[in-house]
Amino acid sequence: MNEKIVGTLLVVAMCIVCTVPAVVAQETPFVINGYVSSANGDACNNPSVTVTNTDTYESWPAENALASNYYRLVLVNGTDLTAGATLKFEVTNQDGSQSKIVQSGITQAEITEGGRFGYNITLSVPNQQAWYFTANTASAPINDTPNSGIDSHRIMTKGAEGGDDSDSIPVGKQVWFYADQVADCDVSFPLGTWNVSYWVRTIDSGDSNKQITTKLHGIDSTGAELPGSPYAVEYYNIIEAHAVENVTKSLNVAAGFTIPEGGRFAIEVLWDSTAQQGLQVYCNPPGKHASQVTSPTSDPGYPIPELPTVLLLGLGLLVFAGYMGLRRRRNA
């Protein structure tokens, strides 16, 4: 009888010993770190960085230092987050004049590596907004003009980074990345600079010095390109073929333009017609920042102007109407 009891206890003990490592293995540290920069590229010392798991709504402040723009946060895999969780980063500088909110999903590769390392964030000044490239197919309205050379239509998401995906552009063709929201009303952009930064790699090792063209477009609710579009164009020559490199351009819009209700803006990436093979465009390559476009400080609040803008416009219309009525009475 004693032998049976001892044997049973040994079996139970072995089960516990085998189970504990598996439980412990699920709860491992997950480190997030990086540097915060101001909108002009300077170091933003002592930033405020708060990270929220949007699935559980639990938030954590990151560690930082008064004399440094470095931040660090240690979470627990299996408790604070798991693969597929979406984290929201809310970052501001000391006086609150610059900020950024970014949402990004955690990949299984990051879980395996033990964290997201070198996740650098550049702040924006008020009114600037960021849209991130994705490999998701865009639905109408899109520019489906026959023989336009557009190979694919993709979506840019506002505030949420895309995954580690890429899109291949054939020789001489183009991909359009559309804002994920259409304009809720007529939205007018004054002149300003749109900053575009994305990652590419040539498929052929002999395609050095081939040209990439980046354009800013606008379409109406039917997908037709708006008058005056493209509003800005820039060019970039490949430096090192068959290597991932960053295309960073400032699209300077010299004259204002309006996206009508139901329309939206888009970024075009056109690959050289003299290239040997296609071009890969990456949304969010590991160890890099996400491919994105940032609107200018004159952004009125797309897809719908903010309330102060609407009030000012309404006030202007009222003043104009009153002035015209006064003129009519004087001329009567």
How far is residue 281's CA from residue 248's CA, in Å, rounded to a whole number? 13
Q: What is the pLDDT of residue 23?
A: 43
How far is residue 65's CA from residue 151's CA, in Å, rounded to a whole number? 47
Residues in the chain: 332
Q: pLDDT (tens digit, 9 = 90+) per residue, 105-164? A: 898 989 999 999 999 998 887 778 999 999 999 999 999 998 899 999 999 999 888 788
| CA 101, 103, 109, 111 torsion-angle sign | positive
Beta strand ranges found along 106-240 (DSSP E): 115-116, 121-122, 130-137, 150-158, 166-169, 174-179, 187-189, 192-202, 211-219, 232-237
Q: pLDDT (tens digit, 9 = 90+) per residue, 195-249? A: 999 999 999 999 999 999 999 999 999 999 999 999 999 999 999 999 999 999 9
Mean pLDDT of the chain: 87
Name the pairing type of β-strands 211-219 and 232-237: antiparallel
DSSP one-letter code for 331: H
| Beta carbons of 251 and 230 less than 8 angstroms apart | no
Exposure string for 130-161, b = 16+ CB within 10 A, e = fewer: bbbbbbbebeebbbeeeeeebbbbbbbbbebb
Domains of the chain in sequence order:
28-122 (2.60.130.10), 130-300 (2.60.120.260)
How far is residue 116's CA from residue 99's CA, in Å, rounded to a whole number? 21
How far is residue 275's CA from residue 272's CA, in Å, rounded to a whole number? 6
Least confident of 31-40, 140-149, 291-300, 323-332: 323-332
Q: pLDDT (tens digit, 9 = 90+) per residue, 24-34? A: 445 799 999 99
CA-CA-CA-CA dihedral for 80, 84, 85, 87, to nearest 10 = 120
pTM, full prediction: 0.71
